[in-house]
Amino acid sequence: MHAVKKIIAGLIAFVFLSGLLGPPAATGITIKEEEDLAREFLRYVTLQLEIIDDPIIVEYVNSVGKKILAKVPPQPFPYHFYVVKQDVYNAFATPAGHVFIYSGLLAAMDNEDELAGILAHEISHVTCRHISQKIERSKMISIATLAGVAAGILLGAAGGGQAAGALTMGSMAAGQSASLAFSRENEIQADQVGMVYLTEAGYTGEGLLSVLNKIRAKQWYGSEQVPTYLMTHPALEDRLAYIDTYLASGKNELQTSRPVNTNAFQLVHARLIALYSDEKVALSTFETALRSETADAITYYGYGLALARAGKNEQAVTALKKALETEAFNPIFLAGLGRVYFLDRRYQEALTTIASALSLDPQEPEALFFLGRTRLELDQPEEAQAAFERLLNQEIVAKQVYYFLGKAYGQEGKLVEAYLNLGRYYYLKHDYTNARIHFKQALEKTQDPDQRREIEGRLKEIEKILKALKES
């Protein structure tokens, strides 16, 4: 079993590395090929990895990525940043600018500089077109095959009887992994380019050095604890030496501003640990922090969310009120308290608290979400629908919004919209069987040409996905 795990790990490294593609260059696959590969690869990645769609966390990570991209030459595609819910140290990019960071690595960070450092490095692999050039030169395997290899490996990584399928798929391309793997030169170049991006965006670059040191330290805990990042990003010692020399040279002193929002990072960091790390670890983390002299409002906020997650609602209310004693007009803290009141079925208190949050920030996503859920519990579907539809106008939309919007439409008797939104929810959840059922129900009842076009397109995609899964 240990040998199988090592083989799968190596194949995962190959697939992740082979996905790091970038903008036009003298050589490399075309932008259209890259986007086609990204589309297939992204489908498999999101099918096998749980992606956190918490708007507060995802919007923040995207905002840091956008600060860096503002200093990057024009790109042929938009970039997207994702947080994978998995307690490991890893980050990778797929074709056409999709950058993933794992929750375990983000939780291990101490500041925005460290996050910016990792994101800049991944962005640089894309802009340098390291792997696309190698694919073109070696004329190795087709885009469809590469996407299939990704699917096979990720299915195997999920465990169980599918591992053999992963190895079978991987064997078609394992021999090419050496020609695709990042070289020492690739890694150093990505750091060189990334450090320029960081400096121009106003970061020191010291964050990249400190987070790489954390990753290096992790490997000494034992062979089973070797961070995945070290398998997909080689030459760590050389990289550390280069970055240290770069910082010592003073080249990073050219920065003109400091865009780091320490408060925003700490809040997102607390929320990530409270809601998406191991429940016991989360409680222990905040209880330890509260015993220190540095405990602040954000610590109480995170502790309140962790307590509510553990079902300790009364204690959660106390912790969140403690946070509000320091920051009475923080809409995110108020939304967190409204969340706990909702979970404790104290609906009128939830409405009052949520109203306060929305008076400070009318677009606060958690407040709108629990406003809609509270209205549903109070049998007020029209008001619930209005709250959920406001969320649909935001850049990051949690998939659960579609589920509860579907319920609101169902309570109103608007069955087409109910089935359509439930279909969207199950599609995003990768429950394609239920998605197909709800989309077909909506298709039978709607006469709207736009709705029919969307549903028919989704049904075609679902059939393609289900066929591919069956064949694998």
Check pLDDT > 60 for residue 157: no
pLDDT for residue 358: 98
pLDDT tens, residue by residue, 230-246 = 877 888 888 999 899 98
**Residues 142/33, Cβ–Cβ less than 8 Å:** no
For residue 151, what are its two tokens?
């699917």
Q: Say if residue 134 is exposed, middle or buried (CB neighbours under 10 Å; 0-12, 13-18, 19+).
A: buried
Average pLDDT over residues 293-301: 92
pLDDT at 23 over 60: no
Q: For residues 183 and 205, give the distance between their C-alpha atoms in angstroms, rounded to a whole number.
A: 22
Confidence band, pLDDT 50/70/90 cuts, at residue 251:
low
Q: Is the per-residue pLDDT at 18 higher than 60? A: no
CA–CA separation, 410 vs 442, rounded Å?
Answer: 12
Q: What pLDDT score does 130 carry?
A: 67
For 102, the token pair is 């794992």
Position 131 confidence tier, pLDDT thresholds 50, 70, 90: low
pLDDT tops 80 at residue 107: yes
pLDDT tens track for 166-198: 333 443 444 444 444 567 787 888 899 999 999
How distant, in Å, are the alpha carbons of 90, 156, 229, 400, 457 from that of 100? Answer: 8, 20, 12, 21, 27
- The per-residue pLDDT of the chain, averaged, comes to 83
Question: Given this model, what pLDDT does residue 49 score?
Answer: 85
Alpha carbon distance 324, 315 (integer Å) = 14
What does the alpha-carbon distance between residue 299 and residue 294 come to, in Å, rounded to a whole number? Answer: 9
What pLDDT is attached to residue 12?
37
pLDDT given at position 362? 98
Q: What percent of the chain has pLDDT over 90?
A: 60
* Distance from C-alpha of 418 to C-alpha of 411, rounded to nearest angstrom: 9
C-alpha 115: how far from chain center: 13
Q: Using the predicted structure, report yes or no on whether residue 269 has a pLDDT greater than 60.
A: yes
Q: Provide mean pLDDT across the span 215-227.
A: 72
Top pLDDT among 173 and 293 is at 293
Residue 165 is predicted with a pLDDT of 38
Task: Name the range with the highest mean pLDDT among 21-25, 224-228, 234-238.
Answer: 234-238
Tokens coding 289: 């922090």
3-state secondary structure the chain: CHHHHHHHHHHHHHHHHHCCCCCCCCCCCCHHHHHHHHHHHHHHHHHHCCEECCHHHHHHHHHHHHHHHCCCCCCCCCCEEEEECCCCCCEEEEHHHEEEEEHHHHHHCCCHHHHHHHHHHHHHHHHHCHHHHHHHHHCCCCHHHHHHHHHHHHHHHCCHHHHHHHHHHHHCCHHHHHHHCCCHHHHHHHHHHHHHHHHHHCCCCHHHHHHHHHHHHHHHHCHHHCCHHHHHCCCHHHHHHHHHHHHHHCHHHHCCCCCCCHHHHHHHHHHHHHHHCCHHHHHHHHHHHHCCCCCCHHHHHHHHHHHHHCCCHHHHHHHHHHHHHHCCCCHHHHHHHHHHHHHCCCHHHHHHHHHHHHHHCCCCHHHHHHHHHHHHHCCCHHHHHHHHHHHHCCCCCCHHHHHHHHHHHHHHCCHHHHHHHHHHHHHHCCCHHHHHHHHHHHHHHCCCHHHHHHHHHHHHHHHHHHHHHHHC
- For residues 159 and 362, which has the higher predicted lDDT (pLDDT)? 362
pLDDT value of position 7 = 35
Residue range 61-89, pLDDT digits in tens = 999 999 999 999 999 889 999 999 999 99
Q: Rounded to a whole number, what is the largest CA-CA distance in the chain?
A: 68
At residue 318, the pLDDT reads 98
pLDDT band at 312 (very low <50, low <70, confident <90, very high): very high
What residue ranges do the domains of the chain occupy?
Answer: 2-254
| DSSP bridge partners of 94 | 98
Contact 112, 262 (CB under 8 A): yes
Q: Looking at residues 95-114, what average pLDDT do you find?
A: 93
Please state the pTM of the whole predicted model. Answer: 0.86
Question: What mean pLDDT is predicted for residues 415-439?
Answer: 97
pLDDT of residue 359: 98
Residue 125's pLDDT is 86
Q: What number is the average pLDDT over the span 388-410?
A: 97
What pLDDT score was predicted for residue 411?
Answer: 97
CB contact set of 280 (below 8 Å; sequence gap of 6+): none
